[in-house]
Amino acid sequence: MPNQATELFAALAHDTRLRTLMLLAEQGELCVCELTHAIGVSQPHLSRHLAQLRQVELVADRRAGVWIYYRINPQLPEWAATVLRETVEGLRDAKPFAADRANLGAMPNRPDAPRCP
pLDDT tens readout for residues 49-72: 999 999 999 999 999 888 889 999
CB atoms within 10 A of CB 78: 7
CA 3, chain centre distance (Å)? 20
- Domains defined along the chain, listed by start: 5-105 (1.10.10.10)
CB-count burial class (<10 Å; 0-12, 13-18, 19+) for 68: middle
**Nearest-angstrom CA–CA distance, 34 and 92:** 18
pLDDT tens readout for residues 18-59: 999 999 999 999 999 999 999 999 999 999 999 999 999 999
Mean pLDDT score, 81-105: 95
**Nearest-angstrom CA–CA distance, 85 and 16:** 18
Q: Using alpha carbons, list the distances in angstroms from residue 14 to 11, 52, 74, 84.
A: 6, 11, 22, 14
